[in-house]
Amino acid sequence: MATAAPGQLNLDDYPSWGSRGVDCFEKLEQIGEGTYGQVFMAKETETKEIVALKKIRMDNEREGFPITAIREIKILKKLHHQNVIQLKEIVTSPGPDRDEQGKQIDGNKYKGSIYMVFEYMDHDLTGLADKPGMRFTIPQIKCYMKQLLTGLHYCHINQVLHRDIKGSNLLIDNEGNLKLADFGLARSFSSDHNANLTNRVITLWYRPPELLLGSTKYGPAVDMWSVGCIFAELLNGKPILPGKNEPDQLTKIFELCGTPDELIWPGVTKMPWYNNLKPPRQLKRHVKDAFKHFDFHALDLLERMLTLDPSKRISANEALDSEYFWTDPLPCDPKSLPKYEASHEYQTKKRRQQQRQADDAAAKRQKTHHSQPPHARLPPIQQSGHQIRPAQPTNNPHPPMASGSNHHYGKPRGPGGPNRYPPGGNQGGGGYPNRGGQGGGYGSGPYPPQQGRGPPPYPGGGPRGGGSSGGYGGAPNFPQAGPYGPGGPGRGPNYPPQAGSRNQQQQYGNWQ
């Protein structure tokens, strides 16, 4: 397979795609569902390889194949990197769909179905972090963050914006490898940033201020804001900006990062929705005070990621070169991480729903209200070199799953129910709301049809609903040799050597 030249996408095509039927796979269980369709864990009948099958929902399409799926497949067929999910092939089912008992499924009686076949990943970052008793170490967080930035830098130098970075779209296998997934909102961009792009993208809690203020001209900096939110969430143990709707999200950003003006962010007062949404009083930036328990280098990197002015925000490549990844404790080798039982956001959500139902039934029997205390995500272990042994690690990469599938790749988290975050955070009353109405990794939900600026500032005042779910959101990508390519002389024994430009080391194999 040919590899993309520096700065270019791989244009090789795969004429055999679509030539095989879905009957080449045995569906093991459903692992996700959303507006995009369904996702199944499946086994290739000949090779016995475990894969994820994403069924593309067609019954609501009046104009043919969904444009979001076309864009997703087109982009991810051209990206080849070890930190981007691999789309293996497209398969079809020629006739009406049938369930496990062979009964015809209503809704698509004559068209047949189309499936995307992805490499199977054991976890997503949100599901793994939410496992009861889970505590990441600082070397583990550095390992995940370094892989995230490496994959994102590859996308950006190939002029692809992801536009939905969040924990449930970051898939992790039991070898410790992290891959970007759900490219349903991704699109190519021009380096001059003159094109008008929709600002109705990125899950609400991870959406940058320029999009919330109505900008339609933007670039890779929008993804880096999302990465900053993920970074702080890993170190802090809970999301840092859990807004209820767009105005509330912007308020939370201003309360943390200060109110922007022409001195801090030239041109901000000319943004379409600035005058309608600016706070009534001037707020000071206090990122350092809010996260003073972070170490110095982590706090410095976070400050540069959460810079309000996108033109001054740190890039993925610059972040890889920051001191945070080159000081003790160094990022660990992914293969040194323990193996865990499969866990995804969809899975934890399902378990909580079952627990709530059991609690409600018990309460009715006892005629008293009884509820489980909310599960709190634990902060990371600060001591370097301390191994994590939470959540019953297992050496079986594909342990048996409970009936009624538990993987995340499906619906977004809904409001209400037990709170997954520690008490004391800014919760807005009873459980965190849906993260902007979108879900996770394998699936990508369609956004409202309007492109560009959209309607006046946030009609209805609520976050966008009915989004995707599941880690394999968009079509994934093809791996390169090994999770870490050859690297040049770095600074000290920092693992892995391929990422970052420290001391002008060789980067990313032959695609930089």
Helix (H, G, I), strand (E, B) or coil at 287: helix
Please answer whether residues 177 and 439 qualify as being in contact, where contact means their C-beta atoms are separated by less than 8 angstroms. no
Q: What are phi and psi of 224, to 5 degrees?
A: -70, -30
Sheet (strand 170-172) strand order: 123-124, 170-172, 178-180
Q: Of 212, 302, 213, nearest to 256 (Cα)?
A: 302
Is 54 flagged in the annotation as binding?
Answer: yes
Helix (H/G/I), strand (E/B), else coil: 336: helix
Q: Are 54 and 66 in contact (CB under 8 A)?
A: no
Taking each helix axis from N to C end, the angle separating 221-236 and 138-157, rounded to the nearest 10 degrees, works out to 170
**Cα R_g (the chain), whole angstroms:** 22
Is 223 designated active site? no
Three-state DSSP state, 188: strand
Which of 169, 175, 202, 8 minimizes the C-alpha distance to 84?
169
Task: Compute the distance between CA of residue 5 and CA of residue 317 in angstroms, rounded to an integer.
Answer: 18
Alpha-helical segments (H) within 294-448:
296-305, 316-320, 345-366
CA distance 463 to 448: 12
Give the Cα separation of 251 and 269 in Å (integer): 16
- What 3-state class would DSSP assign to 51? strand
What is the three-class DSSP state of 364?
helix
Candidates 97, 122, 164, 182; catalytic one: 164
H-helix or E-strand spanning residue 207: none
Beta bridge partners of 498: none
Ramachandran class of 335: left when φ > 0, alpha when ψ lies in -120 to 50, beta otherwise: alpha
Which residues participate in the annotated binding site for ATP?
Answer: 54
Which residue numbers are catalytic?
164
Which residues participate in the annotated binding site?
Answer: 54
